[in-house]
Structure 1
Amino acid sequence: MKAKGFSLIEVLVAIIIVSIGLVGLMLLQAKSIKYTHEITNRNTAVSLIDEMFEILSADKENIFEIYPPIKPFYDDIKTETIYFDRNGKIRFTESECPAFNQPLKGKAQASCWLNRVYEQLPGARELKNEIKICPSFKSGTCAGDDYTGSMVEITLVWQATEKDTCGADNVCRYSARIEL
Structure 2
Amino acid sequence: MKSNGFSLIEVMVTLVLTTIGILGMVAMQGRSIQYTQDAVQRNAAVMLTSDLLEIIRANPTEIFQKAPPSDPFYSGFKNTSIFYKAAGSDFATAPADCPSNPKTAQEMRDCWVASAQASLPGAADLFEDAFYVCRSSTPGNCDDKGSMLEIQLAWTVKAGTCPDDRAPNDTTCIYRARAEL
The TM tier, using the shorter chain, reads: 0.7 to 0.9
- For 2:69 and 2:98, locate their aligned partners in 1 and report how far apart those are by CA, in whole Å: 35
1:108-147 superposed matches below 5 A:
108-129=107-128, 130-144=130-144, 147=145
Deviation at 1:93, TM superposition (A): 3.2
1:1-180 superposed matches below 5 A:
7-84=7-84, 87=86, 89-95=89-95, 99-129=98-128, 130-144=130-144, 147-149=145-147, 151-160=148-157, 162-166=158-162, 168-180=169-181
Deviation at 1:177, TM superposition (A): 0.5
Deviation at 1:70, TM superposition (A): 3.5
Deviation at 1:176, TM superposition (A): 0.1
- For 2:26 and 2:48, locate their aligned partners in 1 and report how far apart those are by CA, in whole Å: 34
- Name segments (4+ residues, structure 1) moved above 6 Å: none
- When normalised by structure 1's length, the TM-score is 0.84
- For 2:68 and 2:47, locate their aligned partners in 1 and report how far apart those are by CA, in whole Å: 28
Deviations 1:33-86 (A, max 9, x none): 12221221111001100110100111111111122333354322112102225x
Distance 1:72 1:179, change over 3 A: closer
Q: What is the percentage of aligned positions where both structures have the same residue?
A: 35
- Indicate the SS of the match to 1:70: coil
Which ranges of structure 2 fall in alignment gaps of 5 or more residues? none
CA contact (8 A) 1:122 1:158 kept: yes
Deviation at 1:159, TM superposition (A): 0.7
- For 1:148 and 1:31, locate their aligned partners in 2 and report how far apart those are by CA, in whole Å: 40
Deviation at 1:148, TM superposition (A): 4.5
Distance 1:172 1:73, change over 3 A: same
Residue identity matched to 2:103: L
- For 2:42 and 2:115, locate their aligned partners in 1 and report how far apart those are by CA, in whole Å: 14
- Please identify, of 35-44 and 51-60, the stretch whose mean Cα deviation from structure 2 is larger: 35-44
- For 1:114 and 1:29, locate their aligned partners in 2 and report how far apart those are by CA, in whole Å: 34
CA contact (8 A) 1:65 1:78 kept: yes
**More RCO (CA 8 Å, sep 6+):** 1
- Please identify, of 110-119 and 98-107, the stretch whose mean Cα deviation from structure 2 is larger: 98-107
CA contact (8 A) 1:83 1:92 kept: no
- Indicate the SS of the match to 1:117: helix
Which ranges of structure 1 fall in alignment gaps of 5 or more residues? none
- When normalised by structure 2's length, the TM-score is 0.84
Distance 1:56 1:90, change over 3 A: farther
CA contact (8 A) 2:137 2:146 kept: no
CA contact (8 A) 1:82 1:92 kept: no
Count the aligned residue pairs.
170
